[in-house]
Structure 1
Amino acid sequence: MADVAVPNGNATGSDWPNRYFHVDQILDTAGPRTDDSFSAGEGVKKFLRTECKILVIGAGGLGCEILANLALTGFKDIHVIDMDTIDISNLNRQFLFRPKDVGHPKATVAAEFIMKRVPGCKVTPYFGKIQDKDESYYMQFNIIICGLDSIEARRWINATLVNMVDENNGESLKPLIDGGTEGFKGQARVILPRITSCYECSLDMLNKPTAFPICTIANTPRLPEHCIEWASVLEWPKVQGDKKLDTDDPDHITWLYTVAAARAKEFKIEGVTWSLTQGVVKNIIPAIASTNAIIAGMSSCCTEAFKIATTSAAYLNNYFMLIGTDGVYSYTFEHEKRKDCPVCGGESLNVEIPADWTVERLIEMLVERQDIQIKKPSLASDKPIYFQGPPQLEQATRPNLEKKVSEVLNSSSTINVTSTSLPFSLNLSVTFV
């Protein structure tokens, strides 16, 4: 989809008197924690307010807070990407939206609101997926902030920014600030591609996605979630064939809800709702406005963006976490790089497996590993080992599932792993034990 044209509103208006009085106290004078490269005065203020271009990915609960804080801090050239439209359930925490906005693109409405409310600020929205844009698009920004609720999207932008880095071009390194919340817990981190640990390095810190045994959801469902999983995992491919399930399509969610509700009625299970159906298939986590405000605001994401843009203070190195479930506790630490990180490590992932393992057992191991988090992997060496699709190729390689890995590798010990959930190819170096 094309960039959405938005009226400037007050974007060309002048700043109100003393608008930057408090911010200028930081930028006019060096402080005890100021970076050595900091140059106080008009130069740094000009860069912040007229030259620095910043991208916000996500205009939901976290993104709304980030956009407002950036505009009020003095960033004037802001871009925002979001692929969602506004739902009535968003209004309790995504404060840039009103009932009249339901059904409209989040990015467009958020941009209009910020430009109307903050004179002199230009916000350029894009209604679509981050994957729609190529590297040349991301190269134009000085800083990128993520306010996403999708692990797959985070992995994609992380891998894209790491791959963009050119040792001979310092401007190719784009700092990534990632924020996330889950109920009363939250985190923010600063990622300098190729320098600090990247998002992929910390996958093992994430909660393992909930998985239900196929035998349970197929034969003895006990929970509403079992009925929803049955509808999405078993019935959708059975009825819809090769049609891909789009969890962002309301019509697809409605179909799943209808089928799951019928199965729940058959087994006398209560609790299947449209919102629960959406939550299960999209793995939606609860959001609380106050947590969003803390993580997005002047204690986390936007503070780090300001420090990186102005060098007025040392930026986070490199992980901040907040736990508010029992009191309020915060902690910062340096998350170290993984040498075998498939994105920034530069090395193949070494795996040791028994010599009698089959290809099917290897695939099960890959799916179970917390530090990989892969769905439906396809394997190849010097020739296809097992491909999840298309159907003809899956059928042709299916007999290999029962073969030993040592039989299909021939002289090579490296396996190339791909998946729709991976934004990169994973190279496995296999050792038999």
Structure 2
Amino acid sequence: MADADEPEKKRRRVVELTEKMVVDGGSGRTCEWDGRWNHIKKFLERSGPFTHPDFEPSTESLQFMLETCKILVIGAGGLGCELLKDLALSGFRNIHVVDMDTIDLSNLNRQFLFRLTDVGRPKANVAADFINNRIPGCCVVPHFKKIQDIDETFYKQFHIIVCGLDSVVARRWMNGMLLSLLVFEDGVLDPSSIIPLIDGGTEGFKGNARVILPGMTACIDCTLELYPPQINFPMCTIASMPRLPEHCIEYVRMLLWPKETPFGDGVVLDGDDPEHIQWVYQRSLERAADFNITGVTYRLTQAACATEVFKIASSAYIPLNNYMVFNDVDGLYTYTFEAERKSVASIEQRTRPNLSKTLKELGLSDGQELAVADATTPQTMLFRLCFTS
């Protein structure tokens, strides 16, 4: 027979732990308590059958995670909220989060760090405040801006970067930034210049997680074919007989936006502007309701990448090599494979035919300046042509 006092003992234990986790004045500063990191020490202070072959159990790994390791989380939405919570509870105390979006009412059912009173506030700021006030000793620094608005000096300071994005363009930009930070000496890659990128995402009941070591393993551009292609719909279907949520969104984007000019004449729809996206979303809902179409919603990005961060930061376990897929549509299916690194980048493949053309065929003249830029890369290169006889 179970001890009759067992429920009361559990209740007192919960109260005791809760009191220990109360943050002093909301500042995140409080003393440690015995056993706080026991769950982490089990992985770092003893070996096991799955530990890295070169791993040596010690107390230094935990101290590195608690005091030194800096993590950048990009995105504070569905995946970002989970990542911030998991990383903070895993012992990472120095975390930065970047997100350009503000909280919408529709976010509250799946982004658990936000409350009704937070609607309209920056996601990064609210998420950081929540974690800092809830988890003693953790310091999350928010950045309410686009990743493209931050220079390379900022990104150089981090040991690991985790992406919770639903934009292929943003992924490629971040991928390009980390590749641009690589340092080569006599053609040999300097390993200390590598900043691991952990990327994850889901759509519906499908998900994936991947570990990217820039310059060593397959990057985002190496596996672009894994992302779904852009789909075009017939205009007659969009305008007169929409059947899918996508038809409603395309109708608003292609017809209503230029007709109503909600943000002024000549303003182009910006997929990275949350106000633009919100307007398209609301008008798509209205058209969907007119034609009795259900299912119009934001694409969610949710995954569990915190484990890979822990493995890389601690060096206790071999990280994922390097792509894992998850499918829960019909039963449960997972699969891990090694995505191959391409020797020639996609942009180089598309422009290689131009290498055989003369400058005249390309329409270039002496003294002309060429600015080479792309939305998916962080750097713009400027060239000035100087012809010699």
Q: TM-score interval w.r.t. the shorter chain? A: 0.7 to 0.9
The one-character-per-residue Cα deviations of 1:200-232 (angstroms, maximum 9, x if unpaired) are: 1111011222322346546x5534644542442
Deviation at 1:160, TM superposition (A): 0.6
1:75 to 82, 92, 103: 92
Cα separation, 1, equivalents of 2:42 and 2:235: 61
- The structural deviation recorded for 1:252 is 6.9
CA contact (8 A) 1:184 1:324 kept: yes
Tell me if structure 2 keeps the 8 A contact 1:318–1:334: yes
Query: Is 1:324 the equivalent of 2:348?
Result: no
- d(CA) in 2 for partners of 1:46, 1:226: 53
* Counterpart Cα distance in 2 of 1:322 and 1:73: 23
- From 265, 269, 281, give the equivalent of 1:245: 269
Equivalent pairs: percent with the same residue?
Answer: 46
Residue 140 (structure 2) pairs with residue 126 (structure 1): no
Indicate conservation of the 8 Å contact 1:107/1:126, yes or no. Answer: yes
Which runs of 5 or more residues in structure 2 are unaligned? Answer: 1-23, 365-370, 381-389
Take 1:93 and 1:257, find their aligned partners in 2: how far apart are those partners? 19
Partner SS, residue 180 of structure 1: strand
Q: Once the 2 structures are TM-superposed, how far is the Cα of residue 119 of structure 1 from its aligned partner? A: 0.7
Distance in 2, Cα, partners of 1:49 & 1:255: 43
Q: Counterpart of 2:108 in 1: which secondary structure?
A: helix
* Contact persistence 1:10–1:118 (CA under 8 A): no
Q: Secondary structure at the match of 1:92?
A: coil
User: In the aligned structure 1, how far is the partner of 2:309 from the partner of 2:31?
Assistant: 24
Q: For residue 230 of structure 2, what is the aligned residue in structure 1?
A: 209
Match among 70, 83, 89 for residue 53 of structure 1: 70
Structure 1 portions without partners, runs of 5+:
1-6, 354-379, 384-406, 411-415, 426-433
The match for 1:222 is 242
Counterparts of 1:212 and 1:189, CA distance in 2: 32
CA distance in 2: counterparts of 1:172 and 1:423, whole angstroms:
17
Q: Would the alpha carbon gap of residues 188 and 251 (structure 1) be closer, same or farther in structure 2, given more than 3 Å must change?
A: closer
Within 5 Å, which residues of 2 pair with 1:115-264? 115-168=132-185, 169-214=190-235, 216-217=237-238, 220-223=240-243, 225-226=246-247, 228-237=249-258, 239=261, 241-247=265-271, 248-250=273-275, 253-254=278-279
Quick check: 1:57–1:63 contact (8 Å CA) kept in 2? yes
For residue 308 of structure 1, what is the aligned residue in structure 2? 312
Normalised by the length of structure 2, the TM-score is: 0.77
Partner Cα separation in structure 1 for residue 311 and residue 202 of structure 2:
22
CA distance in 1, matches of 2:129, 2:182: 33
Structure 2 counterparts to residues 82-121 of structure 1, below 5 A: 82-121=99-138
Q: Distance in 2 between matches of 1:80 and 1:332?
A: 28
TM-score by length of 1: 0.70
Q: What is the root-mean-square deviation in Å for CA atoms of aligned residues?
A: 3.5
What corresponds to 1:64 in structure 2?
81
Number of aligned positions between the proteins: 343
- Measure how far apart 1:120 and its partner are: 0.9
